[in-house]
Amino acid sequence: VNETEIIRKLFSPLAATEGAFGLRDDAALLPAGDYVVTKDLMVAGVHFLESDPPDLVARKLLRVNLSDLAAKGARPVGYFLGCVWPAKIKRETIARFAEGLTVDQETFRISLYGGDTARHVAPDAPLMLSVTMFGAPPRQEFVRRSGASPGDDLYVTGTIGDAGLGLAALRKELACAKAAKEFFVERYRLPTPRLTMGGALSGLASAALDVSDGLIVDAGRLAEAGGLAAEIQTAAIPLSAPGADWLSGEDDPHAAYARLATAGDDYEILFAAPPTRRRAVEMAAKVSKTPVARIGQLAKGEGVRLVSQDGEEIDTGAGGYDHFAS
Amino acid sequence: VNETEIIRKLFSPLAATEGAFGLRDDAALLPAGDYVVTKDLMVAGVHFLESDPPDLVARKLLRVNLSDLAAKGARPVGYFLGCVWPAKIKRETIARFAEGLTVDQETFRISLYGGDTARHVAPDAPLMLSVTMFGAPPRQEFVRRSGASPGDDLYVTGTIGDAGLGLAALRKELACAKAAKEFFVERYRLPTPRLTMGGALSGLASAALDVSDGLIVDAGRLAEAGGLAAEIQTAAIPLSAPGADWLSGEDDPHAAYARLATAGDDYEILFAAPPTRRRAVEMAAKVSKTPVARIGQLAKGEGVRLVSQDGEEIDTGAGGYDHFAS
């Protein structure tokens, strides 16, 4: 096994598009256009587990980047891939990783355009993955993180907290039925980028971002970008059936809500829109076949409040994952 | 120290250009245009040493990517940055790293457009850096790796082997005078992207790439992309004065040439051009104030031969660095 063989056999077939030169050059040439570009890293032990299947790791890598493009209303086109493999990597693992890329390249109609690959010298250094993904801007405006106004509603797609429970289950920190565990783990390993709904948000949402580090911390980012405060009602947070089951079995429902709302890895779109557009948001959700829930409001002020049905404010700690908190 | 503070204070000032949104969004919006894009990774212990100063690591990171754009004749515009810091990273190290970026952003008139940052959980996992850099294509044609013809001359910019000696010196595997050591180490830590000469190569060179893994292996890539063989004459390989000094002190000059020509980290441009363009190449070198040496020729066939002054073929082993050779 050598570097050239790995690139030629496993990765070049993923770069069949014009301008990628089949990965046989030092740079790619993008077709003329405007581009929305995002970059998300994934590191074993931080963003995924070493035990996660390599094909699902590859698909998650694409999907977390697709999720960023979705939140901006962009249509994905292609990506650049960086991989630093562990010292003891086997060719078979890389092949399974490339298979995962193949599956999701077809699902999302994107192409590999270039990249770089290396191998760690340090014996236990973890797999490190980096993607820079680009797409076409939405026909109407690019949906910024800022842009929300006081009084705007706050919405989120899909369901919240499943992936966090999946991670806990994989770490054997969660007791639940086998079917529920499988559901949570699937949600952790394979997020669903909300591209169709994201496209519909252009011209509709006043602000948007994807929920990656936790609903509370990401709501804080959206609010802060607009110089606002956010309030989220626990009862309005959309839960999956297994998520609701788990919650109903918890002794402290406030702590359970806080856990779901700060768990991260949801990769749903959080967005704001004025109340006058409630009907339009409903229509967009219907047309794009995407569950959307109205979970709160934005107001003058700062910070995020998570409020229970009885009006009590729930402590959410740091609100989500911070890579530098120690 | 938290993630938001680090991004706001240390990295946002590097992203003052329009479309980067001061790193306060999930994606950047590139100005309309054609783009040449490249991606090069750097990992501590593989592409640089843990003991290298953080500001120089940052500058090398930009320069190895700039070197790829230079070899394609592209004019750099901006980049996306991915960093995975060691678990025990200090804010001061990140600050020095950002200072290095600042210096070379000004030198090369480029801007940060976006990125992602994370921290390892594993205690000894190394610093991992990833850059995706984009630029404007050359006015004339994009210089491909393929495109050379039998009979074309082979040229290289600058000098070869200094960086490899610098790495050996840092690893205490090289005995030489202090001034020579400083020179070699500087060449290892701070390559010079040949952007002006690269720009001049568009419409002049038949093929080009940057020498990153070793002159021999990269000459092999250029030759193979054109379905050709390459021959390089040792006496024509451009050496720095300290490099020539080192060579003259070696007992086995053939082995010494092989070492210089396979050492890697040169980040010079290797290019081919028909003999009818020798005068034009000389002029381009003069105008761009870039040393250029004619080191060999391309011919029908395959493989790379390194030939000594007495006509003997020199064994160059694998020809350079292969991340997957074990």
pLDDT at position A10 is 96
Average pLDDT over chain B, rounded to whole?
95
Of the residues A24, A26, A67, the best mutation for testing chain B's interface (the one with the most B CB atoms within 10 Å of its CB) is A26
Nearest to B82 by CA among B126, B130, B26: B130
The nearest CA of chain B is from the CA of A39 a distance in Å of: 5
β-sheet bridge partners, residue B233: B307
Q: Using CA coordinates, name the residue in chain A closest to B6.
A: A324
Supply the DSSP string of B148-207, one letter for each residue.
--TT-EEEEES-SSHHHHHHHHHTT-----HHHHHHHHHHHHS----HHHHHHHTTT-SE
**Is the pLDDT reported for residue A142 higher than 70?**
yes
Contacts of A145 in chain B (CB under 8 A): 21, 24-26
- Residue from the list B3, B128, B142 with its beta carbon closest to the beta carbon of A84: B128
> B39 and A137: CB-CB below 8 Å?
no
> A47 and B118: CB-CB below 8 Å?
yes
For residues B292 and B294, what is the distance between their CA atoms, to the nearest angstrom?
A: 7
Percent of chain B's residues with pLDDT above 70: 99
> A324 and B28: CB-CB below 8 Å?
no
CB A129 within 8 A of CB A57: yes
Contacts of A124 in chain B (CB under 8 A): 122, 124-125
> A119 and B323: CB-CB below 8 Å?
yes
In whole angstroms, how far apart are CA B306 and each of B208, B209, B254?
19, 19, 10
> A25 and B121: CB-CB below 8 Å?
no
- Residue from the list A33, A116, A119 with its beta carbon closest to the beta carbon of B39: A116
Q: Tell me which residue has tokens 């030629």.
A: A8
- Count of positions (residues) in chain A: 326
| Confidence category of residue B318, pLDDT binned at 50, 70, 90 | confident
Q: Which two tokens stand for residue A53?
A: 């299947």
Q: Which two tokens stand for residue A106?
A: 């077809």
β-sheet bridge partners, residue B30: A35
**Is the pLDDT reported for residue B236 higher than 70?**
yes
- Residue from the list A26, A36, A225 with its beta carbon closest to the beta carbon of B68: A26
Q: Using CA coordinates, name the residue in chain B closest to A135.
A: B29
Query: Dihedral of the CA atoms B66, B68, B71, B74 (nearest 10)?
Result: -60
Buried b (16+ CB within 10 A) or exposed e, B91-124: eebbebbbebbbebbeebebbbbbbbbbbbebee
pLDDT at position B56 is 98
Residue range B34-65, pLDDT digits in tens: 999 999 999 999 999 999 999 999 999 999 99
- Is residue A134 within a helix (H) or strand (E), and if so which, with residue range? strand A128-136
CB A202 within 8 A of CB A70: no
Sequence-distant (≥ 6) Cβ neighbours of residue B34 within 8 angstroms: A29, A30, A31, A32, B136, B137
> A122 and B125: CB-CB below 8 Å?
yes
**Is the pLDDT reported for residue A326 higher than 60?**
no
- First-to-last alpha carbon distance for chain B, in angstroms, is 40
Sequence-distant (≥ 6) Cβ neighbours of residue B275 within 8 angstroms: B151, B152, B153
Sequence-distant (≥ 6) Cβ neighbours of residue A249 within 8 angstroms: none
Q: What average pLDDT does this structure show over B230-236? A: 98
Q: What average pLDDT does this structure show over B95-114? A: 98
Contacts of B69 in chain A (CB under 8 A): 27
Number of A–B residue contacts, CB under 8 Å: 212
CB atoms inside a 10 Å sphere around CB B312: 10
| Confidence category of residue A277, pLDDT binned at 50, 70, 90 | very high
Contacts of B46 in chain A (CB under 8 A): 84, 118-121
Of the residues A24, A83, A324, A326, the best mutation for testing chain B's interface (the one with the most B CB atoms within 10 Å of its CB) is A324
Supply the DSSP string of B134-150, one letter for each residue.
EEEPPSS----SS---T
| Confidence category of residue A324, pLDDT binned at 50, 70, 90 | confident
> B45 and A121: CB-CB below 8 Å?
yes
| Confidence category of residue A3, pLDDT binned at 50, 70, 90 | confident
Sequence-distant (≥ 6) Cβ neighbours of residue B238 within 8 angstroms: B156, B158, B159, B160, B291, B293, B295
- Phi, psi (rounded to 5 degrees) for B122: -60, 130
CB B75 within 8 A of CB B195: yes
- Residue from the list B6, B39, B122 with its beta carbon closest to the beta carbon of A132: B39
Contacts of A39 in chain B (CB under 8 A): 80-82, 114-116, 132
pLDDT at position B326 is 57
Average pLDDT over chain A, rounded to whole?
95
Q: What average pLDDT does this structure show over A51-55? A: 97
Q: Using CA coordinates, name the residue in chain B closest to A322.
A: B3
**Is the pLDDT reported for residue A77 higher than 60?**
yes
- Of residues B318 and B93, more confidently modeled: B93
pLDDT at position B4 is 84
- Is residue A107 within a helix (H) or strand (E), and if so which, with residue range? helix A91-108
Contacts of B21 in chain A (CB under 8 A): 144-145
**Is the pLDDT reported for residue B77 higher than 70?**
yes
> B39 and A115: CB-CB below 8 Å?
yes
CB B155 within 8 A of CB B272: yes
The nearest CA of chain A is from the CA of B120 a distance in Å of: 7
> A41 and B116: CB-CB below 8 Å?
yes
Nearest to A277 by CA among A213, A179, A201: A201
Query: Dihedral of the CA atoms A105, A108, A113, A119 (nearest 10)?
Result: -50
> A82 and B130: CB-CB below 8 Å?
yes
Residue range A226-268, pLDDT digits in tens: 999 999 999 999 999 999 999 999 999 999 999 999 999 999 9
The nearest CA of chain A is from the CA of B315 a distance in Å of: 20
Of the residues B77, B116, B119, B218, the best mutation for testing chain A's interface (the one with the most A CB atoms within 10 Å of its CB) is B116
CA atoms within 13 A on the CB side of A260: 28
**Is the pLDDT reported for residue A110 higher than 60?**
yes
Residue range B194-221, pLDDT digits in tens: 999 999 999 999 999 999 999 999 999 9
Contacts of B4 in chain A (CB under 8 A): 322
Q: Kind of pairing, strands B268-273 and A228-233?
A: unpaired
> B27 and A37: CB-CB below 8 Å?
yes
